Amino acid sequence: MKGNKTYVDIGSILDDVFEAAKDFGEKMKDFAPPGFDGCGPNPMGGFGANSEAHGSGGTSGGAWFDAQSDENADYYPNFSYPPMNIYLTAERSIVFEFAVAGFEEKGITLSFQGDYMVFSARIEMEPPLEGIRYFKRRLKLKDIEKQKYYVPADKFDQEKVKAVFKNGILKVTVPPKETAEANEGIKIEIVREGE
């Protein structure tokens, strides 16, 4: 190779673009009128193929925004690293599988704070060698700082959590409570004005 040429990793750029587009779509769901899916007129104003004009009657957020029926929907869009699976078993246990290859068990911290499981991990890396020029660099290991995952304490038995680290996968299983706790809440007294 002659000279100092800069090479751009198009794959990495496209990954970032698709991730940003996905985040944008998730955020736009909150602003969509009922029946909106991104194309055609909408009875609520604006456009959307699920409008009365198209005879579909509409859905809660429109087909374009409605990720509820998609088994690949990301219900935890805030964290893209590390790669993970989150699912409910037939027994109603919630399971988190984190791909943490390169991390050691002693560098991983799990705890519960109220209704959230807090996950952190530190990686011990050797300093990079000088003079290295990468042709492809997709392994970008980094520390994981206090990621919070919703595990409601009234529905899941946090005391019986089980975490297993095997072959670079951390599998955390939180079983359901035998009986869900019914929170009575706080009763608000209503009085007549002036009393």
Residue 81 confidence (pLDDT) above 90: no
**Residue 58 in contact with residue 85, Cβ under 8 Å?**
no
Query: Of the residues 48, 74, 100, which one is the last residue of a structural domain?
Result: 74
Q: How far apart are CA 49 and CA 25, in angstroms?
A: 17
State pLDDT tens for residues 96-111: 999 888 888 898 999 9
Residue 94 pLDDT level (bands cut at 50, 70, 90): very high
Bridge-based pairing of strands 116-121 and 108-113 is: antiparallel
Note whether 36 and 46 are same-domain residues: yes
What is residue 74's predicted lDDT score, i.e. its pLDDT? Answer: 61
Query: Of the residues 50, 74, 98, which one is the last residue of a structural domain?
Result: 74
Backbone angles phi, psi at 160, to 5 degrees: -105, 20
State pLDDT tens for residues 36-73: 554 444 444 444 444 333 344 444 444 444 444 456 66
Most confident of 74-78, 100-104, 161-165: 161-165
- The sheet carrying 94-99 orders its strands as 84-88, 94-99, 169-174, 162-166
Residue 159 confidence (pLDDT) above 70: yes
Q: Is residue 101 part of a domain?
A: yes
Per-residue pLDDT, averaged over 73-83, amounts to: 71
Residue 156 confidence (pLDDT) above 80: yes
- Residue 186 or residue 11, greater confidence: 186
**Residue 118 in contact with residue 112, Cβ under 8 Å?**
yes
- Per-residue DSSP letters for 45-91? SSB-TTSGGGTS---SS-TTT--TT-TT--S-TT--SS-EEEEE-TT
Whichever domain contains 114, its CATH number is 2.60.40.790
Note the pTM of the prediction, 2 decimals: 0.55
Residue 183 pLDDT level (bands cut at 50, 70, 90): low
* H or E segment and range at residue 114: none
Residue 40 in tokens: 């055609």
Note whether 87 and 129 are same-domain residues: yes
Which of 13-17, 60-64, 76-80 comes out lowest in average pLDDT? 60-64
Q: Is residue 185 part of a domain?
A: no
CB under 8 Å to 77, separation ≥6 — which residues? 22, 23, 26
Residue 32 pLDDT level (bands cut at 50, 70, 90): low
What is residue 67's predicted lDDT score, i.e. its pLDDT? Answer: 46
Query: Of the residues 74, 94, 112, which one is the last residue of a structural domain?
Result: 74
Residue 138 pLDDT level (bands cut at 50, 70, 90): confident
Q: How far apart are CA 70 and CA 59, in angstroms?
A: 14
Q: How far apart are CA 172 and CA 124, in angstroms?
A: 22
Number of structural domains found in the chain = 2
Note whether 107 and 142 are same-domain residues: yes
What is residue 181's predicted lDDT score, i.e. its pLDDT? Answer: 65
- Per-residue DSSP letters for 136-194? --------EEEEEEE--TTTB-GGG-EEEEETTEEEEEEPBPSS-------------TT
Note whether 101 and 135 are same-domain residues: yes
